[in-house]
Amino acid sequence: MSRIGIFGGTFNPLHVGHIQCVRTVRSRLSLEHIFVVPAAQNPRKPRTEGPKDSERLEMCRIGFAADAEFVSVDDREITRGGLSYTVTTVESFAKEHDPSEIHLIIGMDQFDDFDRWHRIDRLLELTNVVVVSRMGHPIPQMISDFPEGLRPYITDFEKGFAQLSTGRHIEFVRMSDVDVSASDVRRRIRTGRSVERFVTIEVEDFIKKHGLYGPIGPRIGDYEQFARFCGDALYNKKGLNVRGFDLRPTSAPSEFAVVASGTSTRHASALAESVLNAVKDEFNVFPQSVEGMGEGRWVLLDYGSLIVHVFYDFVRQEYRLEELWKDGRDLGLKDPLKL
């Protein structure tokens, strides 16, 4: 094989958007084969509740069974374990295939911070990059639209194709819109809603058979006490203005909420990390999803019936979530160190 694609991700779970992405890129770029590579642990995302590595791998194998002629599910990152750095994976593929014809496939959301990936200089020496964009997600129209760290590598850019100083290129592929995300699929399963439009029948059957993405409530128990526990964890790391709310009298998306501020984006991320660690140690539970940890402006930890919001204080003042929760019951959280 010469012209190959590498498509990595957590695939938690594999959904029809992933499958359509692979089929579209193969057709547009005339790739001979695409390797789907489930990650052991994405170094840019905290761990969340979900299936075992072997179960994510099996979902990929089941989901791509119909495309086996041109798709292989590769287990090298899971076998290697630890943090899954893309550059390490691409280096291993470059030893097995013509390195001049390797194409790394990523989504537009990943491209936004692509310049901050591990050893990006080496990665741009090893592979061409294919960025898949759904309808409604704009692609760069000029070099200034690229992530800042990529701009020095660009020697020419025209009509969705950027030539790089490394001899590689970045090109953009439009995909027919598929309004689906893994986090939405997980949320639908946990709340008992249908996912038949978002995953294949075979993958859905596997999820049901193995009881994946079930509610975490039974392990947490009393969610009001859990909210107070998270509040204490935030206070212990010097969180500011920590407040908790019982939102059951409202139409909010969760039954409880805890909100706190950090003095900087770094402090906000550290506060969220302290909650993650405290909950893992006490309850052996990870959040169902984590958003915003990298930037630290607004970090959201979704524990099902409780959502923890940690803000850089300046950003919190902009959103004023407490005003949206005025019909909820204030839990009156107190700093345990001052009681």
Do 292 and 334 lie in one domain? The reply is yes
Do 249 and 169 lie in one domain? The reply is no
In a domain, 255, yes or no: yes
What pLDDT is attached to residue 1?
Answer: 57
CATH number assigned to the domain comprising residue 296: 3.30.460.10
Do 74 and 133 lie in one domain? The reply is yes
In a domain, 202, yes or no: no
Do 33 and 167 lie in one domain? The reply is yes
**pLDDT tens-digit map of 158-215:** 989 999 999 999 999 998 767 788 888 988 898 888 999 999 999 999 999 999 998 8
Do 250 and 176 lie in one domain? The reply is no
Do 140 and 262 lie in one domain? The reply is no
Do 278 and 330 lie in one domain? The reply is yes
What pLDDT is attached to residue 339?
Answer: 67
Q: What are phi and psi of 125, to 5 degrees?
A: -85, -30
In a domain, 195, yes or no: no
Pairing assessment for the beta strands 169-175 and 161-164 based on DSSP bridges:
antiparallel
In a domain, 209, yes or no: no
Number of folded domains that form the chain: 2
Residue numbers in the chain where pLDDT is lower than 50: none
What pLDDT is attached to residue 191?
Answer: 81
Do 279 and 183 lie in one domain? The reply is no
SS3 call for 290: strand
Last residue in a domain, options 190, 225, 242: 190
Do 238 and 154 lie in one domain? The reply is no
Residue-range definition of the domain harbouring residue 330: 217-338
pTM of the model: 0.84
Around Cβ 282, how many Cβ atoms within 10 Å?
12
Do 115 and 222 lie in one domain? The reply is no
In a domain, 68, yes or no: yes
Last residue in a domain, options 142, 172, 190: 190
Q: How many residues does the chain have?
A: 339
In a domain, 208, yes or no: no
Whether residue 38 has a cis bond before it, omega within 30° of 0: no
What pLDDT is attached to residue 35?
Answer: 98
Q: What are phi and psi of 273, to 5 degrees?
A: -65, -35
What pLDDT is attached to residue 224?
Answer: 98
Do 15 and 154 lie in one domain? The reply is yes
CATH number assigned to the domain comprising residue 106: 3.40.50.620
